[in-house]
Structure 1
Amino acid sequence: MNPLISFTFDRDTEEMCATLTDFAEQRLGAPERFDAADFRRRWLLAGRQGVTGTCVPDEFGGSGLDAVTATALMEALGRGCRDTGFAFSVAAHLYACLMPVVEFGTTEQKKRWLPALASGERIAAHGITEPEAGSDALSLRTRAVRDGDGYVLTGAKCFTTNAPVADVFLVQAVTDPAGGYFGVTSFLVEAGTPGLTVGRPYDKVGLRGSPMADVHLDGVFVPADQVLGAEGGGAAVFTSSMRWERTCLFAAYLGAMKRLLDSTVAYVKEREQFGTPIGSFQAVSHRIVDMTLRYESARLMLFRAAVGLDEGSHDEVGPALAKLAVSEAAVQLGLDAVQLRGGLGIVDGEAETFLRDALPSRIFSGTNEIQKNNIARAMGLGRAPHRRRASR
């Protein structure tokens, strides 16, 4: 199955996607205010549908799907689940936490952690961002000091998705301050470990259905067997997780974009002004065409990046381009949908909710400005080294 060639999926995948969309529409509706118990109830339902472990190998409790199929299912989830924050949380759990364990974990770690995480019984959170380490993600202040048969972690994380409900944290910490890229190590830390505390959930402008909070590490002892990958290999773990996240996670936005695009088309066909549907006005119809163009173009780029994941590519440009395309298209599509609804677009409803949920997409998983820097550097357009002027 290669969407770059056929532009369609096989029957089994189409049926899985349709089933998941219907399930999400009927069972994953969000309460008016975030409720942790209800969140976990819906999480378990999603887990029973296989959503929380799509690309985890079946021997460790997942569905063993390839990246393209998992991306298609995430798109279906985003289309059916009107709580984009919930879909975002599921994707962050799967791609930023579980896939690093799949790729870098020992057999013992995979057996210990993955089955309950893939089934939806447990929830994972990835702690990387810090108050002084956002775009400069690896300039961390969280330290991990060797202590006998383990490490002691001290520091703080912020903007940690799923932190208020997480059962396990994938934490990045510095083990060698002079080691640069090779000075960071990844740790799997269970919630409830002495010294680990979670702050109050953020009150956010968008993605309100996704709980986020600060995480504080005050002398947290982590046994050595909970190091993910080798000591000093944390940057490689993080880079791999971002390839997955910048591709598959953003498929949830594709699904939400398609839902909003369809409803906007239906609206402009029904809404009449001056005795005619507004969709017949060129200014409106051309805007709809532009929305469709952005959505379809972004979708192709994202599935192209998913193909790269399946092929084992370590290319970072494809996922970065996909992240750029989807996030920018989502924000503009949200603005267009609001504009076409006129006054209805700025009151509580589908369009304004989508726009609020789309705004963070240009920031998380590496800001769009950082993505452009990374792409330019890969093209050989990075800042040239300073050359001394020859003395005379």
Structure 2
Amino acid sequence: MDFELSPTQIERRAAVTAAVAKRLAAHRTTTDPELVRLAWKNIAGSGLTGLCLPEEYGGSGLGALDTALALEAFGAACSDTGLVFGIAAHLLSCAVPVGEFGAEGARELLAGMASGDVIAGNAMTEDEAGSDVGRIRTTATRTEGGYVLDGEKSFVSNAPVADVFVTYAVTDPAAGFLGISAFAVPRALDGITVGEPLPKMGLDGCLAARVRFDGCVVPDRYLLGAEGSGGAIFQHSMAWERGCLFAAYLGLMEHQLAECVRHTTERRQFGRKIAGFQAVSHRVARMRLRLESARLLLYRACWLLDAGRTDVTAIAMAKTAVSEAAVANSLDAVQLFGSSGYVAGAGIDQQLRDCLPTTIFSGTTEIQLELIARETGL
């Protein structure tokens, strides 16, 4: 077991940090679609939108662990966690399945996805199909030269700025899980309606909306994998998302911990630094313990992915550990900063709002615990 990062990995992390400082120096979290696209354009030149995509399409060809390390550096350097989340979701839940399962027609989208010129949204969730993805009602009916999509997706990250949607629909209602197919659907096709941006508690920089397909004819070339393989493709994309996207939250927690150390060693109460109170120092120590424990689990899950071993338990444990640590550490940070942590504008309040949804998206904590229990033999 070797816990040291290679010189190349260290250099890549430093490069990401420098790129964010330079390219997003003037960026502030925004919900304006035009400004969100501008932020994407500014950071895309750093390679973050194509980390694990094939080099022949302009990507960096990185494995899961190297992708996670880059996203961790991104999460630490960028205060707009919504932007970080949107780019990671574009890359992992959309570009990865297009790159690995798309035929030649769909793979033509990859160059734009790698460069950030083509933004992708993952359209799976429906009103009656969140954790229970087998209950999706969107249909894809065979027609000459393609499929006709009908249905509505209730929560699609990046939707207001997306140029393509990776979506899932039922092609064979009688086949259950094996009757779901995956598609890369260009937004320019007729029959697609994107709703207004949804108001959210956090991740403001990642705009989300409902997306409706009404008789949308999708040519055959945009089918991902074989008909009926959509469920397996979605599971594969979720392995990458749960394994790599949450590295961005390791970065957030690393930055947050440094802020808490600085604050507690500078702020004085009762004639002494508050870091000298055991109640404070132990809270900070537990924050570090959660962060380091979650980091090891996530690195291991990514290492297994790179080894060709998609370990469901390892990924579920990593996702759960990171999400629960992010929420707990953010609550501790608010407590350590006191009223200044509660007042909007200091950044600590925003970190908490951005961390709260981690226990919901990419599979709820309850679903992850079910997966762990099942793989444990229960």
Q: Do both share a fold (TM > 0.5)?
A: yes
String of CA shifts for 1:319-373, please: whole Å, max 9, x gaps. 1111000000000000000001111110012211100000000000010001111
Preserved CA contact (<8 Å) 1:170 1:189: yes
Q: Which residue of 1 aligns with 2:131?
A: 135
Q: Residue 92 of structure 1 aligns to which amino acid in structure 2?
A: A
**Is residue 231 from structure 1 mapped to residue 227 from structure 2 by the alignment?**
yes
Q: Which residue of 1 aligns with 2:122?
A: 126
Q: Which residue of 2 aligns with 1:75?
A: 72
**Is residue 198 from structure 1 mapped to residue 200 from structure 2 by the alignment?**
no
Q: Residue 6 of structure 2 aligns to which amino acid in structure 1?
A: D
CA drift of 1:140 comes to: 0.5
Preserved CA contact (<8 Å) 2:106 2:223: no
SS at match of 2:135: coil
- Aligned-pair Cα RMSD in Å: 1.1
Q: Distance in 2 between matches of 1:153 and 1:16?
A: 41
Match of 1:102 among 81, 87, 99: 99
Q: Distance in 1 between matches of 2:70 and 2:198?
A: 28
Q: Which residue of 2 aligns with 1:354?
A: 351
Q: Residue 53 of structure 1 aligns to which amino acid in structure 2?
A: G
SS at match of 2:149: strand
Preserved CA contact (<8 Å) 1:127 1:157: yes
SS at match of 1:189: strand
Q: Distance in 2 between matches of 1:167 and 1:290?
A: 43
**Is residue 296 from structure 1 mapped to residue 282 from structure 2 by the alignment?**
no
String of CA shifts for 1:284-324, please: whole Å, max 9, x gaps. 00011000000000000001011011011122111111100
String of CA shifts for 1:35-80, please: whole Å, max 9, x gaps. 2222112212222110000111101210111211111000000000
> In structure 2, do the counterparts of structure 1 residues 33 and 107 end up closer, same or farther at CA, with 3 Å as the change threshold?
closer
Q: Distance in 2 between matches of 1:30 and 1:248?
A: 24
How many pairs were matched up? 376
Q: Distance in 2 between matches of 1:132 and 1:225?
A: 29
CA drift of 1:214 comes to: 0.2
TM value normalised by structure 1: 0.94
Q: Distance in 2 between matches of 1:7 and 1:258?
A: 18
CA drift of 1:98 comes to: 0.7
**Is residue 66 from structure 1 mapped to residue 63 from structure 2 by the alignment?**
yes
**Is residue 167 from structure 1 mapped to residue 163 from structure 2 by the alignment?**
yes
CA drift of 1:274 comes to: 0.6
Preserved CA contact (<8 Å) 2:171 2:180: yes
Q: Distance in 1 between matches of 2:211 and 2:35?
A: 22
**Is residue 209 from structure 1 mapped to residue 205 from structure 2 by the alignment?**
yes
Q: Residue 102 of structure 2 aligns to which amino acid in structure 1?
A: G
**Is residue 144 from structure 1 mapped to residue 134 from structure 2 by the alignment?**
no
Preserved CA contact (<8 Å) 1:195 1:218: yes
Q: Residue 56 of structure 2 aligns to which amino acid in structure 1?
A: E
Q: Which residue of 2 aligns with 1:283?
A: 279
String of CA shifts for 1:137-169, please: whole Å, max 9, x gaps. 121010111111111110000110000000011
Preserved CA contact (<8 Å) 1:324 1:362: yes
Q: Distance in 2 between matches of 1:380 and 1:139?
A: 26
SS at match of 1:179: helix
**Is residue 244 from structure 1 mapped to residue 249 from structure 2 by the alignment?**
no
Q: Which residue of 2 aligns with 1:46?
A: 43
Preserved CA contact (<8 Å) 1:30 1:209: no
Q: Which residue of 2 aligns with 1:330?
A: 326
Q: Distance in 2 between matches of 1:34 and 1:268?
A: 33
SS at match of 1:214: strand
SS at match of 2:134: coil
Q: Distance in 2 between matches of 1:245 and 1:288?
A: 29
SS at match of 2:109: helix
Preserved CA contact (<8 Å) 2:28 2:80: no
Q: Residue 49 of structure 2 aligns to which amino acid in structure 1?
A: T
Deviating beyond 4 angstroms after TM superposition, the runs of 4 or more aligned structure 1 residues are none
Q: Which residue of 2 aligns with 1:10?
A: 6
Preserved CA contact (<8 Å) 1:25 1:82: no
Q: Distance in 1 between matches of 2:104 and 2:152?
A: 29
SS at match of 1:202: coil
Higher CA-based Rg: 1
CA drift of 1:9 comes to: 1.3
CA drift of 1:8 comes to: 2.5
Match of 2:152 among 148, 153, 156: 156
What is the aligned-residue identity percentage?
49
Q: Which residue of 2 aligns with 1:222?
A: 218
Preserved CA contact (<8 Å) 1:247 1:323: yes
Preserved CA contact (<8 Å) 2:29 2:204: no
Match of 1:258 among 233, 238, 254: 254
Q: Which residue of 1 aligns with 2:317?
A: 321
